[in-house]
Amino acid sequence: MGLRLAVVVAVGLGLGVSAYGQTGAHECAPADRVCVMDQLDDAASAGDVVAKINLARMFLEEPEQPASWRRAAVLLQQAAATGDAWSTNILAGLYRQGIGVPEDGRKVLSLLVPLAAEGSTAALAGLGDLFANGAGTVRPDKQRAARYYARAAAGGDAHGKYRLALMLLDGSGVPVDIPRAVDLLDELAAAGDPWVLIQLGDVFASGKAKPANRAIDYFDRAAEAGNSAAMVRLAQIYQSGIGTVAPDSAKATDLLERAAALNDVGAQVLLAQALLAGGEPGAAARAVYLLETAAAKGEVLPVAVLASLYAKGGGGVPVNGPRAVALLQPFADGGHAAALVGLGDIYAKGSGTVAVDLPRARALFEQAAETGDLAAMNRLGFMLVLGQGGAADAARGLDLLDQVMAGGDTWAMLQLADLYAEGATLPLDGAKALQYYARAAERGNAAGLTRIGLLYQRGLAHIATDPAAALDYFERAAAAGDGGGRIYLALMLLERASAGDMARAVQLLDAAAMAGDAWATTILADLLIRGDRIDADGPRALALLEPLAEKGNAAALASLGNLYATGVGAIAADTVRAAGYFEAAAALDDYGAKSRFGLMLLKGEGVKADPARGLALLQNVASIGDGWAKIQLGDVLASGETVPLDADAALAAYQGARDAGLAAGAIKLGNLYLTGKGAIAPDPTRAAAYFAEAADSGESVGQVNLALLLLDGKGVTQDVNQAVGLLRRAAGAGDAWANGTLGGLYADGRHLPPDYDNARLFSVAAAKAGDSGAMLRLGILLATGPLAQDHRAEGMDLVDAAVVAQVPNAVVERARLHLMGLAGPDGGPMAESALLAELDDGNPAALRLLLQLYRAGGPGLKARPAQAQSLLDANSALLAPEAVAFETIALRALPPATEQSLADIGAALGGIASTDLSQTVQMLFWGNKNAYVFALQRGLRDAGLYDGPLNGYLGQATISAINRVCRQLDAEATCAAGPLTPDVAILLGNYLASQSKPLQHS
């Protein structure tokens, strides 16, 4: 119990001031503090002990007044000298805390030990406080503190009971004893203290005591007493559910509204986030108001949340980088680490009109790192190693990263190991790469196991190839749920080729293919086509490859060419189809497809003979002739689709094309450095330099590419004016892409003030240059964007015109606008009619939007989930399996979660493509929180982070697993508001999607 609380308790026990509220001359008004203190001072000067005690109490109540505190200490010393126990206890508290007197633990002992010997429970509790924290030359002694608290508690002292309960909960100075701690807190809670009730609620909510839902009773009692913190805790429980209590968003919102009305900052933040998540009209404005109100109170949490919202935008809130900076800057100026890191992230990535400024970001991370903040040390460490924002300082950067990794950040370990394995920014060092991969794996990151397997499979520096070790690590990675580990294991098993190995490899590939992994799908399909030590199965290969081919996967197109070239089982040979697939793959620079199509052109198989073209293709592949041939070779080598990825050779090919005078060579080099490939690390700055070279030569593609980097401040300082200038140059030369990009910029208002005249001017030019969708895109932006107030009708007219002109997907886009309410109250039926007609023509996009309409309803049309299911059942052949899985999940998530619906969602999740997984998680977040939590549990289990039940309830095990992800991603600030927030849903969805992808093979 703190000093101030002790004073209040003592006064409550009868040491009031009423005897000194009056004199013979006059009576003081109750609120006249000066009058009362004057009378107490007179009485104290006359030697009245009670007056001294009451006057000391009043002096101690004056905040941040050292002189008053010193006067109080003198008065208490005088009272204590008379043997008054209360004064002695309070005086001891002053010496313990150094208030009004020097901090002096020995003095505390001299004052309290005699009282304790006489059985004073307050003195026993005070001695417990002394040894719990130490004072002066008296060092902390937790065990001794616990003994004093126990004696005080046995005598009925409330403070002793409370402090002993806390020590029993944490095992501090005593063995953990949750039941005894709960009993002690229950005794204290009988008096109705809301903070004791909250402490009890936390014990049950955290899982330290069971059942978890008992927490609700304690929080409810505290909330009924008007405690806003209890209301917030109770709201969080109803947001996610606990134990056997299901989520109840209405109760959660009501509690947050009550707490927010009491000016509780946490409630205002959570309510704002709930409003943003709900997406109701006007919600964004109120959410921003709540956050701005909370931020004005000077606490960092609402400031950080609001700044993050402005920095990223979303939920109806536009990006406002300057406002985000203004919010964070005062806290950053005060040295607050979280604010420094948040501000550094803004300058590291840019935000709206706030340009990327790496030196400034580095300086901010430097300042935050000095406070010991691990997130700042992580960011600064890699900037120092990579030489970002200033001179490289690998030694210091590595020292910082060592401290970060000591805190358990496994992704920092993997990133650092990759740098040693690549040998680009750090010296090539296989031993160090292995060391850090192993550390990450030991801490539960299965990707570390896969990377170790690759080291032993390929060898590196002083690490010799060791197939047995590689196989062992891939096995361990696969068992831990790492997708890359599964595929590399399958490939090694295929190489060994025994019957058992083949069966296991096919099983692994099949599971990965069902999860949407494209690489695994093509490997498995090729095995089924060849019938190489497994039964050939043409129909199964066709089912695997067609969805990927529809997305333009060159390897899948080539494999389909192989399938139809020979025929497999029930799939008859069809050389015309084979030629079509090979030609499509060849157009995507597929090495093998070019060779096969060249042969078919030479022989006239499935296609009209064209020896010249066929020979040119083969010469192109075989010998690489002029600059364009070098570019084609570079594309093949850089794609890694049908030949091993060789980024260095691709770099040489592109450089040769550039040296031959082709601006396209510089553009290819720019694209290579923009994304990175293999041993070529991403380098946006170098990419921008190559695009600038192409742009200077008049190449419109280079001008547009450079402009896009300038708009986002990627690799260059953000410069919207220069970007617009480049786009105008390319547009003036008739480039459709440049004109269309400018039209969009002026219409959407993200980088430029909305400008209707220019938006229309450039969109029309794009259409004239051959961009058939330019006016449709303009219409959509005019109908929905910042120009909608004055030009929505025209936008709708443009969309209608695109429908009449049969622009691809115009009907679907118009229907989407109708569903947004832009066609009035009958928009739903109008959209339904148009989409049904499109569906009759086999348009899968129309089917997807119809399913959405029947799930959620629209203007003038109620939701009809049963009809959505019937529609999906009847037309699923139009969709790829991954899309069917997504739509199935969306339907199962409509009603409240049940054991069966969660089981159905779990079964369908296996069919979601990794590229769609993040979108799926976010869809569930908005639609069904239990299903969302279930999907997280399943994904976190597959990632090796969660071993609890798959029940859709946000229990402690799930929260712990989510927190591990947040720490891995250095996203504690994002996650601070809890897992049921939009930003965290996006973070976790992206994380799970990344975990479902294998390592890029070379």
Read off the pLDDT of residues 157-207 as tens digits, 9 standing for 90 and up.
999 999 999 999 999 999 999 999 999 999 998 888 899 999 999 999 988
Q: What is the pLDDT of residue 572?
A: 92
Omega of the bond leading into 754 within 30 degrees of 0 (cis): no
User: What number is the average pLDDT over the span 317-344?
Assistant: 92
Q: Which long-range contacts (CB under 8 A, 24 or more apart) does 456-459 make?
A: 457/488, 457/492, 459/430
Report the pLDDT value the prediction gives residue 515, as an integer from 0 to 100: 75
Residues forming a β-bridge with 22: 27
- Please write down the long-range contacts of 909-912, taking CB distance under 8 Å and 24 or more positions apart: 909/885, 909/935, 909/938, 910/514, 910/515, 910/885, 911/514, 911/515, 911/516, 911/881, 911/882, 911/884, 911/885, 912/515, 912/516, 912/882, 912/885, 912/886
b/e per residue 225-239 (b: at least 16 CB within 10 A): eebbbbbbbbbbbbb
pLDDT above 90 coverage of the chain, percent: 31
Q: What rounded mean pLDDT belongs to the chain?
A: 85
This prediction has a pTM of 0.43
b/e map of 741-762 (b: 16 or more CB within 10 Å)?
A: bbbbbbbbbbbbebebebbbbb
Question: How far is the C-alpha of 784 from the C-alpha of 518, rounded, in Å?
Answer: 35
Give the amino acid at 162: Y
| pLDDT value of position 907 | 85
Does 752 score more than 50 pLDDT?
Answer: yes
pLDDT tens figures, 926-935? 888 888 889 8
pLDDT for position 626: 45
Q: How confident is the model at residue 2 (pLDDT cuts 50, 70, 90)?
A: very low
Evaluate whether 831 touches 853 at the Cβ level (below 8 Å): yes
Whole-number pLDDT of residue 621: 58
Chain center to CA of 296: 26
φ, ψ for residue 486 (rounded to 5)?
-60, -45
- Whether the Cβ atoms of residue 709 and residue 691 lie closer than 8 Å to each other: yes
Q: Mean pLDDT across the stretch 378-386?
A: 92
Range with the lowest mean pLDDT among 397-401, 538-542, 607-611? 607-611
User: Which among 551, 522, 524 is positioned nearest to 535, based on CA atoms?
Assistant: 524
Binned at pLDDT 50, 70 and 90, residue 657 comes out as low
The secondary structure element, H or E, covering residue 866 is: helix 865-875
Read off the pLDDT of residues 418-432 as tens digits, 9 standing for 90 and up: 898 888 888 888 888
Question: What percent of the chain stands above pLDDT 70?
Answer: 92
Integer angstrom CA distances of residue 477 from 437, 452, 917, 937: 12, 10, 21, 19
User: How confident is the model at residue 999, as a pLDDT?
Assistant: 28
Q: Read off φ and ψ for residue 858, nearest 5 degrees.
A: -160, 180
Say which residue, 631 or 310, is predicted with more confidence. 310
Q: 303 near 295, Cβ under 8 Å? A: yes
The answer to which of 171-180, 485-494, 909-918 has the lowest mean pLDDT is 909-918
Task: Specify whether the CB–CB gap between 832 and 816 falls below 8 A.
Answer: no
Residue 872 in contact with residue 888, Cβ under 8 Å? yes
Give the mean model confidence (pLDDT) for residues 779-803. Answer: 91
Position 908 scores a pLDDT of: 83
Q: What contacts 916, CB < 8 A, 6 or more positions away?
A: 516, 882, 883, 886
Q: Residue 4: pLDDT above 70?
A: no
Is the pLDDT confidence value at 594 over 80?
no
pLDDT attached to residue 664: 80
* Residues 229, 16: Cα–Cα separation, whole Å: 31
**What sections of 210-357 are H helices per DSSP?**
214-224, 228-240, 249-261, 265-278, 283-295, 300-312, 321-333, 337-349
Q: Give per-residue pLDDT as tens, 946-977.
A: 898 988 888 888 888 888 888 888 888 888 87
For residue 1, pLDDT beyond 50: no
884: confidence class by pLDDT, cuts 50, 70, 90: confident
Total H helices, total E strands in the chain: 55, 0
